């Protein structure tokens, strides 16, 4: 993007993965069976949602890696199947939507919820404000 557009326009890139307590990294599910497997591994567990961001402009370049930790109750099978049927897990790291399906199962959160949404704005804003 920098080669194509130059640095006249700032560039911001971000991506997210989920890590299970044993260190297993979960990316986006390939299909509904993969999503079911991944979500069942998260059920009743503590996960870390890890987001990286990279920012570059004419005057500033920085990178950040942030993690937010969620402890979940066990997912109810009926809710899990409805979520899988909805397709909302598609395109989500670990199939996880802490603002949606997983929300009612959250026992505790350690970190910024914006990290789980894919971009820790609390880290970014101090650097790019006026």
pLDDT in tens, 57-68: 888 888 999 999
For the chain, give every domain's residue range. Answer: 2-128
Question: Could you confirm whether 79 is annotated as catalytic?
Answer: no
- The model carries a pTM of 0.83
Selecting among 15, 79, 85, 110, the annotated active-site residue is 15
Q: Which distant-in-sequence residues (6+ apart) come within 8 Å of 108 by Cβ?
A: 70, 71
Residue 72 pLDDT grade (very low, low, confident, very high; cuts 50, 70, 90): very high
Burial group, residue 12, by CB count within 10 angstroms (0-12, 13-18, 19+):
middle
Q: Tell me what pLDDT residue 51 has.
A: 92
- Contact criterion met (CB below 8 Å) for 12 and 55: yes
Quick one: fold of 2-128? Maf protein (3.90.950)
């Amino acid at each position: 993007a920098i080669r194509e557009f130059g640095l006249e326009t700032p560039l911001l890139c971000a991506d997210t993965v989920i890590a299970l307590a044993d260190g297993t990294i979960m990316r986006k599910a390939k299909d509904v069976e993969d999503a079911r497997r991944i979500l069942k591994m998260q059920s009743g567990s503590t996960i870390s949602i890890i987001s990286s961001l990279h920012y570059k402009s004419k005057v500033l370049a920085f990178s950040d890696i942030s993690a937010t930790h969620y402890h979940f109750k066990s997912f109810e099978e009926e809710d899990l199947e409805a979520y899988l049927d909805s397709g909302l897990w598609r395109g989500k790291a670990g199939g996880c939507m802490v603002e949606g399906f997983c929300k009612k199962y959250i026992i505790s959160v350690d970190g910024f919820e914006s990290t789980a949404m894919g971009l820790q704005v609390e880290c970014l804003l101090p650097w790019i404000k006026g």
